[in-house]
Structure 1
Amino acid sequence: MSKDPHAKRFEVQRLVERSLDLARNALLQQGSFLPGFIAVQPNGMYNVGVAAQGGAQGSNLLIMALKQKASAKQIRAAAVYRDVRVRPEGASEDVDAIQVVAELASGESYNVFQVYRMDEERLVFEEGREVERVPPVIFAESDRSEAGTKRWWEFWK
């Protein structure tokens, strides 16, 4: 991948948009979805998959498989997406959201939450997305496992 920051930003945006598309299609067809992933091979081709089980356990299995591929240099970027409940700032109750974590081999990692609601068989994405930079997990170096380092998947437990 290019070291150009615009190319990196484009790769992250593509992963997030594609993940949201996959989640959106599953929501429309099934009303919910299992955690899924997109892995970008060094040649730019995508591998797409879904966990065999839901929740944190399914997400963690995907992460471990992607970490193995990353350490073997078989992928240059990856995204994991899942169906979650979040409480927006100032709200009194939880709402549905799609969480996407997109990472690049360069170490850039972003956590994205897209709030949604089902409105009479129609999926409606709320305006705006919550985006935050987070420490990498899939492409993390082994020395990042020090005590005190927060990993985004720990918040799913």
Structure 2
Amino acid sequence: MSKDPHAKRFEIQRLIERSLDMARCALQQQGSFLPGFIAVQPNGKYDIGMAAQGGTDGSNLLITGLRQKAVAEHLRAAAVYRDVRVRPRGALEDVDAIQVVAELASGESFNAFQVYRLDADNLVFEEGPDVERVPSVIFAEAACMAAAAKRWWEYWR
């Protein structure tokens, strides 16, 4: 990937948008969805998958798998999306939302939340997603795992 900040911003934006699109389609067709991921290979091709189970366990399995791929340097970016409940600022109760965690191998990481509701069998999405910068979950851990995997003689070269 280019070191150009615009290219990085575009990659993150594209991951968030595609993840939200996949989650929205699943919600419209099924009313819910299992956690899923999009992984970007070094050549720019996408790997797309879904957890075998829902909830935190499903998300954690996806993140663990992405970390392992990142350690082997088989990813340049990744995103995990899941169905969550959040409490917006100033609200009195939790609401449904799609959460997307999108990261670049360089360590830049963003969280996006798209609030939605079901009204009389219609899926209604609130205004655009709320995006904020967050600490890396996939690639930061992958860097630590890669460093720990080095043999002692690699440190002494």
Provide TM-score, normalisation by structure 1.
0.88
| Bigger Rg, structure 1 or 2 | 2
Provide TM-score, normalisation by structure 2.
0.88
1:76 aligns with 2:70: no
Extract unaligned runs of 5+ from structure 2: 146-157
Letter of the aligned partner of 2:45 in structure 1? M
Distance 2:12 2:56 in 1: 23
SS in 1 for 2:139: coil
Distance 2:122 2:42 in 1: 37
Distance 1:131 1:21 in 2: 15
Distance 1:4 1:62 in 2: 29
After superposition, the C-alpha distances for 1:104-140 in whole angstroms (9 at most, x for unaligned) are 0010000110101122332221113221111111101
What RMSD, in angstroms, separates the aligned Cα atoms of the two structures? 1.1
After superposition, the C-alpha distances for 1:68-104 in whole angstroms (9 at most, x for unaligned) are 0001011100000000000001111110000000000
Counterpart residue number, 1:148: none
Percent identical: 78
Extract unaligned runs of 5+ from structure 1: 144-157
Counterpart residue number, 1:52: 52
Q: Trace 1:4-153 onto structure 2 (pairs within 5 A).
A: 4-140=4-140, 141-142=143-144
Letter of the aligned partner of 2:6 in structure 1? H
